[in-house]
Structure 1
């Protein structure tokens, strides 16, 4: 409303009227108010974020372009922003000589200026005011924090300076520039996304310029390298600072702004008609320059929204508060430390697709692949390009490698425990198979060896992997040798006893039941041989190693465990049925013979 009323004044010259209307069209944020985003922590040099200001930023939809004004204490920053927004001092940012409380920390205008773009998505230009440096009761580290945050988050950084560029002004900005340079540049290919893309910088010099050098020439001379033929350390430091300042923005511009009026304390009560015509004209030009330079802020390769701007402010404030006196290395390390944590998480997550246990060689190859992937990710995404930052980054890189090795050691321990658990379980299963085979009713050495070999091959060897394989394999082989020795002794003894019992049973059966003298005689011969032969030799072991015993064992193994059925019970059942069938047939024939004889006698 204030802008519209000024446009309607008929007493203004036509040129001033046009400029006033242009400012009113540009400043769509006149309905807003200043809100704190970052405030100082009482009695310290640290910063804290204000939730009200963050919420305002988070509610901004679409791309944002923060315009941040920095400069010395009471240099006219707040008044300049009020002029760009076309709002009065009473409703705009606090001006030092009109309010008891000046700007503390960083404040944002709650109503962003909407600017149309080519893709029809409006750009939100967010104006921010900062606390001036060298204010009473504030340390250099506090100013460094304000400047660093401003340089990182701004799309357009306006460095507002009265009269000229002093050496102290250059030094004050050097920390923010070095920090911004560290975060803007990364190692690796050009395709890597930076944390934030560098914005544009305006050197705004407010003074009454005399004829001669332009403001751009004055700034260029102030930032030019100083000749140092004698390699003075102090001059080297000055030149290093000047060199770093050239990296702060992709587009550095100098702009001169004359004093608006001789009465500085009454500026807030003056309209454009009362201000210097040159100032009003330059203000409109500055407004247009800011509009041209205000482009969407880029963060990690994508356009920054209000929500992401709020997240960036929180991260940078947290990083700036890490130490009492922040340094470029400490801030960059703070961001890289988060990257280290992400690399560790990525390394651990990669193992989720691999089940344990694994052989040590395979586990080592997997670790080497994941380690290389994590280190390459760190190298391609870490921040810092100067020698100092690379050295600090290498320290973090070495620490990352050590942490990944510790994660690998943990994985190796888990692999060993899992391997031991599975191998012990499979070993017990095969040992239980041996115990079951020891107790089989019809002993068979072929079945004993075959069943164990199948368990060892299909169960133990197929399932047991990893570092416990060798130890548990040796334990299983020892159990096999022990059980095999015990089985062989019991096997021969049981077979010998069985043959004795079968011969006695045959004698009884063929004498009293079936009455087959030939078969009874065979059984007697077998019984006498089995009872007498062991007494003619020194030990049973000699008998078990003889040829006839080996032949008997082969016949027995064929009967109880053959390739067709793999089951002695079925083969014995077949032989038993065949024997009973033949026996029954013989009995029926013997019973039928007397009947035929008695019939013939009756006929006679």
Structure 2
């Protein structure tokens, strides 16, 4: 994108809506995305920072008046400067607290959407981190009313303690900072300044509760926190109004240095956007996520992260089945020259194409817990395999039939003309028929039906040969009996060859189903192991943050609050132990075996084989 575009806006009725043009742009981005959203009061320089992250002087509108210039949520997608094959998605939000708009509810939803869509959330404020600044961040205290983690409220008594698992990293950008970074006369870092500002006060009075509440929310919701304190970019207010037109040498060096550090931090530490369970979000998925949340808000419901993920999974998994199947169909057509010489040759191409199709599905799908979508992919690929197999046979049969017609034309004409109904005619017929067979066999590329069509032709000529044999007076009756026996024996041998080929083709079909099952199991196991590692990392990160927060509370003698966290930490330990167990992997693999009996006709005949195959994957 060479410039930003509005992603979420207000329609004429004042309701939020997603811009279709922006959705189309996101739908074309199949790469993982790193999403940076910035919020804050209007006219606090949010857009300037976002332009710098985009590596541009201009882009997001800065404005120079007392009104909010950015409306809704604007999006700018650029290549990530540090992460190869990733896209950096920058979301600049409408300035909060616009007196002209005066819509607190709209501010709440803009704030919530910025949190829900981002992997790093930047809050921009002016001056210092004091009570006034925290009061302006009142929207963070509304998040439990605006966002739900689980669809069933009774499953979680307090959603806030679980937000840390799914919320973005938090960066507080303090603009026009003029204070000296010291506490009790000792120098502190910007991060220590933020943590000092978030320190709770002891006591239970209403005033102290009001003081602590926004701080507790930030500490609970955003365990990963970072602070940047920017000095004023220019000394003159006149220059500040035209900052986007100024060269860097016209800006204050400390401001430029801090801006560079801010951008470097974002580029190096901002994580790829993920969903619950660690599934990586692409541009396509981000667009669907934005639409799902906005549609939920417009319906009057509260956005639920679990429901959103479930809805996205249904969309993505169906698309993954379609994409995998389309790849299979395209590659079969591209790699196969019909008819193939053998059934094994076609089966090998099928196996290679199916492997790639499964990989495409596995890479894109997520939360397919019942494996129905993976089973659907198995089913449609098997049906397509059967159709291609029938096509392979039919094209071979058609070609072979035409070849046998062409090479036997002279033989047929002479039979019709009675040429062989004479003394010595039988031997002449046999020699001419052998030449037909030789010419037929010499024709290349006939495919898997070559022997069967030839056998059908020769079997069809048995009655003619027998009639010619019986009328040939040059042969003795004994010789006729011997010849009849030879012809009968050859016919049986040809039938045996054709029957063996059919058995081999059937065996190839069964083998293809077995390989399909094994490939599905193998790739699913790899996928689940990767997901397990991501989930363990997520659980470890949250548990570390909870332990850190508990220690901080204990150091400040907030023992009651620290003790209340014991249950959360114990639950996390139990979840982690369950994730480390292999039992859930085994159960998922067994589900694929059950699905295979439905998706792969004939798989039930291998019921004794399936458990052996499955046990091999479970052990390894």
The TM-score with structure 1 as length reference comes to 0.45
The TM-score with structure 2 as length reference comes to 0.44
Q: Which has the larger radius of gyration?
A: 1
